[in-house]
Amino acid sequence: MNDCRAAVTEVLQLYFMGLYHSDVNLLGQALHPRAIYATATGGELTYRTMDEYLPIVAARPSPHSRGESRRDAVESIEFAGAAHAFARVRCSIGKKDFTDLLTLVFDDQRWQILSKVFHYDLKP
């Protein structure tokens, strides 16, 4: 299981780097092509496929380009069998502090994020 934990942690670092640099190639390595993106922060459900989400990331100025410090952390990783994992992570982008609940699957001989369900708080 330690090998699985290390592999999932590696995927999460790709995810953080992709977000920090608005790099859809890195995010594409971390996110399953059929992954979902969802939040109900603000009272209304927002849902996107990767075909909808990745172009949004590609079009926005990256936190790195804006001179923001990289602020992210893995809070926990849990496993359900050899092919399923759940990670609770935090990161900050602009004026938002995110809590991401990520489910991962082992598919095509690698770990990938299959769902990104998140909440964010606005910084004062």
Strand partners, 78: 86
CA distance 49 to 36: 5
The structure's pTM equals 0.94
Q: What's the 3-state SS for 2-54?
A: HHHHHHHHHHHHHHHHHHHHCCHHHHHHHEEEEEEEEECCCCCCEEEEHHHHH
CA distance 19 to 25: 11
Residue 42 clears pLDDT 80, i.e. is over it? yes
Dihedral sign from CA coordinates of 86, 88, 92, 97: positive
> For 12-23, how does the pLDDT look when each residue is reduced to its tens digit (9 = 90+)?
999 999 999 999
25 Ramachandran zone, left/alpha/beta (phi>0; psi -120 to 50): alpha
The mean pLDDT of 57-73, rounded to a whole number, is 95
Q: Which residue, among 88, 94, 63, has the nearest Cα to 76 in the 3D structure?
A: 88
The mean pLDDT of 19-48, rounded to a whole number, is 96
Longest CA pairwise span in the chain (Å): 43
| Domains in the chain: ranges and CATH | 2-122 (3.10.450.50)
